[in-house]
Structure 1
């Protein structure tokens, strides 16, 4: 498939100006959802969710939507998705977010790739998986060019039937869904059997609302190549790991050393 960049590309760049008037606006308020996708809050979108809930294939919806996070930067779709999923998995980050509260925000995802580099370049599927593993998740990565629509659908069904994980993170090319932009990450929250649609909880909520996508179309969007990694896109299956995140382990060790009277170096911010 055509190679496209790894970044979310949700800034006001050339890709977002395609088809605009000669005097293109410098700012944007949302984007219209393509006709082949179904707005989560539209009448049909509500019917799809109601039927998926009744069928037991929207169990992932409530924990994910309760923690749905809008990405803080245009290229931070991978980070915003991880904040959503790690908090939905009830993982303790082991260090404070604000005040006394331990809760994931993008600024706590500090391993694998510097935040300023991620802000400029975005993240690959492997890098998002690395960040998830560093922060207390067990990760299974699947590259779409080595999978089939049937294997993706099976993983989606397993995920959407589980309220405590595994949760699926999709990495796909927006252009293949007739959206503006390029590479993107978002969690998947439900599957509607009769229409074979998946519910994408888009973390770029400033741009698109949560929406239903035909499963075959979403799979095709994941088979596109990421020029940053030289591989196809795909999906991650995330569960809560048996052991805590490495920052939590570091803080626990520091506390124990302090109890023993040993000198302790301050952990990184």
Structure 2
């Protein structure tokens, strides 16, 4: 299986004016003023394979929680090490195979991960490590619900739990070049005055992390994939509190 490599000449793809790169002067100003999960930002991984944006995004969240494997190719090891197997193959439309022995399911998953990882499987992956997780279909919620979940991840002061949002969105809808059409990215911060969120880019060969208007991102989430199903996002929470150090400024 091929790994990602830098673009020819080392240049990233250009960004539309609606996206502000984190590394720009304005991007850094927003970062300084925003409520940011600095531990999550520091945990950001670069995806190892073209199909691993979901894997790298989920592992970035897990790394900030100090759980999970360190090798993206061992992503599915979490299920093998769990006390009991959740119904993992049903998320690929192969529910009849969930009755197979664990070692067989593990090897099937190791191959299937190179075709991408459904949101519902990512939720199972987080739950297998003791985190609360829910795959939210964009067809079942509205922009206000999405905003509430973002605000829960970046509260003013200490929140009751450490929460995360991982977006599954259309690159084209935010003005980026399409590769496979959709992409996963953890949200690393919220800038209240401009109503922007920080998308942490796991395919950093191609694009930097960017600030994007919350409603523009919601529009990119509220889209359908080729088979007609909705994209969406993951709500993830742990019992650890989001401390002032992790949450940044308020």
* TMscore range, shorter length: 0.7 to 0.9
Task: Determine the C-alpha separation between the residues in 1 that align with 2:25 and 2:121.
Answer: 37
Task: Determine the C-alpha separation between the residues in 2 that align with 1:84 and 1:140.
Answer: 17
What are the equivalent positions in structure 2 for 1:13-92 lying under 5 Å apart? 29-52=11-34, 57-58=35-36, 60=37, 62-91=38-67
Q: How high is the TM-score relative to the length of structure 2? A: 0.73
Q: In the alignment, what sits opposite 2:110?
A: 115
Given that 2:191 and 2:197 are in contact with CA atoms closer than 8 Å, whether structure 1 keeps it comes out as: yes
Confirm or deny that 1:176 pairs with 2:173: yes
Q: Deviations over 1:154-196 (max 9, x none)?
A: 1101102368621111110101011112111010011111111
Task: Determine the C-alpha separation between the residues in 1 that align with 2:226 and 2:152.
Answer: 30
Number of residue pairs the alignment of both structures matches: 203
3-state SS of 2:23 partner: coil
Task: Determine the C-alpha separation between the residues in 1 that align with 2:230 and 2:220.
Answer: 10
Q: Deviations over 1:208-260 (max 9, x none)?
A: 111001111100111111235x4211111112379xxxxxxxxxxxxxxxxxx
Task: Work out which of the residue numbers 104, 109, 118 in structure 1 matches 2:70.
Answer: 104
Q: RMSD of the TM alignment (CA)?
A: 2.5
Q: Deviations over 1:27-80 (max 9, x none)?
A: 87321122110010111111111111xxxx22x2x1112211001101100000
Q: In the alignment, what sits opposite 1:4?
A: none
Specify every segment of 5 or more residues in structure 1 that has no aligned partner in the other structure, as ranges: 1-9, 13-24, 94-102, 243-269
Task: Determine the C-alpha separation between the residues in 2 that align with 1:123 and 1:28.
Answer: 28
Runs of 4+ in 1 over 4 A off after TM superposition: 25-28
Q: In the alignment, what sits opposite 1:207?
A: 206
Q: How high is the TM-score relative to the length of structure 1? A: 0.69
